[in-house]
Structure formats: structure tokens, C-alpha cells
């Protein structure tokens, strides 16, 4: 198993992309601390429409090791407590996956300042916090890895005045962290998903989702496991000389020139 006995923290791990990441890491042999604001997986209007058991429960049922830690990733004390709990339970940290993210619809005139702050807090500030508190543990690992989850919206406008700037910030924070931590043999990379079938898409309409299908060159939309499998690669020894990258995993979304 590629990640046998390695210890991972995944933020936003109860639902959607985060859940897919947790499951794929566990199936590759990692022990997983599932961090989220709620343990119950979200039920979507368009995707993941049926109730599912908690992520940690599924991992344990499949023979792996996992725990759930209730965490508001924008809260400094909560993130510090998450790292402490993972170390207490598993003995250290080898892999940090900063996945937690939210979106709140609205343009610059519609979006409340409080909502802008919340999006930046969850989508960008949380990555700084988790990195800050996890790095002392990652430095003790023989294979320290940080994988941040951004979006194709990091590369262009779209998604709103907070979401797209936050995701662009994730890409550049990744590069900065990669430079900072290279001397400690810790790699830092970003995955930039395209349209993934998760409950976060509930704010869209069926017409917009259909357009997303048309705009994706490969003949389906993305699934959480697609992102999870790329995260496994970045977390594995196969990627030990890859750092500071931002990899679109988007079914070809960014490829065409219109």
C-alpha cells in the first residue's frame, strides 16, 4: 500500500471532495483524521442525494483507522486543537490536506462583507492556520506532505469576488510554502478541481450544470474519487520530487482556447 501507516489530516472531510480524499488515502493505507464542522455528510440537491454514513465510520468498516474531529477551520484555536488531537491519537502527522472550502453566491454588490470574510477565512486563512500548526509535526516525518485544494477558478475570474481570489491565493500560498519548507524535505502542492459532483454545487441551476458538462471535454463530470486519487499521488513517494505545483484536475476544462 502506497501510504501504509502514514498519518493524514484532511479538512472538510465529511462530505464531497474531502470525503473522497479521506477514503482514497485510507484505501492506500493511511490513518486519517477527518476534520469538519459537522460529522454527518451533507445531502445535495443534484449530487450525493442519499444519506451516507460518516466518513470515519466507512474507513473503519473497510479495515482502516480514522477519527473525526469537529473543527471550524477558520478558528485558530480549533485548528491547533485538531493537530494536537491527531498527534495524540496517531502519534504524529505525515500528510496535511487542506481541503475545506465554501462558496456563497453573490457579486460585489450582493455579497455581504461578513460573507466575504467568511469565504476568505475558510478557503484561504484556514490553509495558513493548518500549515502553521502542522509543520512542526511534518518536520519530524520522513515524508512530509501538504496538499492544498484550490479550483480552476484560481486561474481566471468567475465564482464571485471572494471565492476566485481566495483560490488564487491558495495557489500562491502553496508556492511560498513549498519554497519555505523544501529544506525540511516537505513538499507542498495544489490540486485545482473542475466541476466535481458534490453538494457544494447546490447553488447552481440544472441549466448551468448542463453547460458545465458541455464545457468539460471529457465525457463526464468529475467525482470526489478523481481528486482523492491525485491527492494520494502527491502524498506518496512517487511525488517526492514534485513541489510548488498547481495541477488542474478538470476533465480538460481549462484546455480549450475559445
Domain carrying residue 231: 7-249
CATH of the domain at 209: 3.40.50.720
Do 224 and 249 touch, CB atoms closer than 8 A? no
Structural domain includes residue 20: yes
Structural domain includes residue 2: no
Structural domain includes residue 84: yes
Do 118 and 102 touch, CB atoms closer than 8 A? yes
Residues annotated as catalytic are: 163
Structural domain includes residue 257: no
> How far is Cα 113 from Cα 110, in angstroms, rounded to an integer?
9
Number of domains present in the structure of the chain: 1
Structural domain includes residue 255: no
pTM of whole model > 0.85?
A: yes
pLDDT digit string (tens) for the chain, length 258 residues: 899 999 999 999 999 999 999 999 999 999 999 999 999 999 999 999 899 999 999 999 999 999 999 999 999 999 999 999 999 999 999 999 999 999 999 999 999 999 999 999 999 999 999 999 999 999 999 999 999 999 999 998 888 999 999 999 999 999 999 999 999 999 999 999 999 999 988 888 999 999 999 999 999 999 999 999 999 999 999 999 999 999 999 999 999 976
Cβ neighbours for 93, distance < 8 A, ≥ 6 positions apart: 7, 8, 9, 83, 86, 87, 134, 137, 138, 141
Structural domain includes residue 206: yes
Do 210 and 162 touch, CB atoms closer than 8 A? no
- Candidates 36, 101, 98, 28; CA nearest to 67 is 36
Edge to edge, what strands does the sheet with 246-249 contain? 66-70, 31-36, 7-11, 95-98, 145-149, 187-193, 246-249
Structural domain includes residue 67: yes
Residue count (the chain): 258
Nearest 5°: the CA angle 48, 82, 248 is 50
Structural domain includes residue 254: no
Amino acid at each position: 500500500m502506497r501510504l501504509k501507516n502514514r498519518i493524514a489530516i484532511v479538512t472538510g472531510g465529511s462530505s464531497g471532495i474531502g470525503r473522497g480524499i479521506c477514503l482514497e488515502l485510507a484505501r492506500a493505507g493511511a490513518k486519517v483524521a477527518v476534520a469538519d464542522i459537522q460529522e454527518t455528510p451533507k445531502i445535495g440537491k443534484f449530487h450525493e442525494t442519499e444519506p451516507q454514513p460518516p466518513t470515519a465510520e466507512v474507513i473503519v468498516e473497510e479495515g482502516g483507522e480514522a477519527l473525526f474531529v469537529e473543527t471550524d477551520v477558520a478558528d485558530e484555536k480549533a485548528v491547533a486543537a485538531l493537530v494536537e488531537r491527531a498527534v495524540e491519537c496517531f502519534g504524529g502527522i505525515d500528510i496535511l490536506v487542506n481541503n475545506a472550502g465554501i462558496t456563497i453566491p453573490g457579486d460585489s454588490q450582493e455579497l455581504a462583507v461578513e460573507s466575504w470574510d467568511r469565504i476568505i477565512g475558510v478557503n484561504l486563512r484556514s490553509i495558513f492556520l493548518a500549515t502553521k500548526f502542522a509543520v512542526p509535526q511534518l518536520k519530524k516525518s520522513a515524508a512530509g506532505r501538504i496538499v492544498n485544494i484550490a479550483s480552476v477558478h484560481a486561474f481566471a475570474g468567475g465564482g464571485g469576488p471572494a471565492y476566485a481570489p481566495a483560490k488564487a491565493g491558495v495557489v500562491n500560498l502553496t508556492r511560498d510554502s513549498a519554497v519555505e519548507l523544501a529544506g525540511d524535505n516537505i513538499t507542498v502542492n495544489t490540486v485545482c478541481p473542475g466541476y466535481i459532483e458534490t453538494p457544494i454545487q447546490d447553488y447552481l441551476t440544472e441549466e448551468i450544470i448542463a453547460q458545465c458538462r458541455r464545457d468539460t471535454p471529457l465525457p463526464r463530470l468529475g467525482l470526489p474519487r478523481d481528486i482523492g486519487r491525485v491527492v494520494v499521488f502527491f502524498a506518496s513517494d512517487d511525488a517526492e520530487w514534485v513541489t510548488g505545483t498547481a495541477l488542474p484536475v478538470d476533465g480538460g476544462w481549462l484546455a480549450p482556447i475559445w
